[in-house]
Chains A and B, each alone.
Chain A
Amino acid sequence: MTKYILILFIFIFKYAQSESYVKAGESLIWDSEKQSYTANGEVEFQNDKFVAFADEMIAEYIEQKNKEVFTIVELFNDVKIEFKDEIFKGDYAIYTREDNIIRLTGNVSIKSPTRLLTGYELIADIDNNKRILNSADDESLVEVLLDNNAKN
């Protein structure tokens, strides 16, 4: 009986994990020399942190232990990123795996169940659960610290 419960648990755990994928509506180019993937047309990108949507995506990768790992993901035009209960929008976004930070620029907004803020640049620090929203003129700056400081 215990054996069956264990198998069931492994099965549920496996499918409960978020699947990492890239979807493109028009085309995808794998450039093994530049170590990049370029996706076009209704692009959807998901990793273990967030889901992103855009018109175009360029993802750079490195090879680690015979596996390719995305290091930088750039998103262009009508960018929407869903991270837990927050939605980030902008014209352009770049995610760097090294520091787990998403930077959005151009008509950015951050929407959560309790607020909607807009600006020119948004820096979302995932590890530190910190959001920095800048307006077009550098003089005004809004720093938002979420109530829940738990590490993601």
Chain B
Amino acid sequence: MSKFFPKVLNLIIFFIIVLQTFIYYLNTKSSTKVFSQKSVSVENFSSIVLSKSGMTKIGSEKLNKVDENNISLEGISYLENSKYKIYGSNIFIDMENDVSYSNDDVEVINSMGILNAEGFTNLDSEGKILFQGKVTFIRHD
């Protein structure tokens, strides 16, 4: 019995060393994932973006970059292109899906008239703007 004991002990020590080496390898292995969370805010911002409606000028009192595809326009904000001019506040823009929306009062001017509503969702890729709440659309005469 005493003859085998040192051999068994050596074997156990060997396994422990191998296990520790493996744990060390896993802990020191570099991750391939990159986590980045950049928060960018710009005040009195204006810029031009290219969308389906063409060149759209956007501007606001404060722009917050939520992530790579989403921005929020804080305070008095606008979207202007050849089809429409949207004036409102707190507008969110999903650049990837060409969608912008706001739940605040909005005024839109197009070639037919002036429209006031209690919020909007602009599905630019579909060429549709949904206005919510009470809507008044007065035509240019």
Contact = CB atoms under 8 A, between A and B. Distances in A.
Given A20-B141, A21-B139, A68 B111 contact: yes
Given A17-B141, A32-B83, A27 B132 contact: yes
A24 B110 contact: no
Given A17-B141, A20-B141, A67-B112, A32 B128 contact: yes
B117 to A, nearest CB: 7
Contact of A33 (B113, B115, B126, B141): B126
Given A28-B117, A29-B128, A29-B131, A67 B138 contact: no
Q: Is the interface of A mostly helix, strand, loop or mixed?
A: strand
Interface in A33-92: 33, 37, 39, 61, 63, 66-68
A24 B134 contact: yes
Contacts, number: 69
Interface residues of B, number: 23
B128 A61 contact: no
Contacts of B112: 61, 67-68
B141 to A, nearest CB: 6
Contacts of A17: 141
Contacts of A24: 131, 134-135, 137
Nearest to B134: A25
A54 to B, nearest CB: 14
B136 A23 contact: yes
B135 A68 contact: no
Nearest to B108: A30
Interface of B: 83, 110-113, 115, 117, 126-141
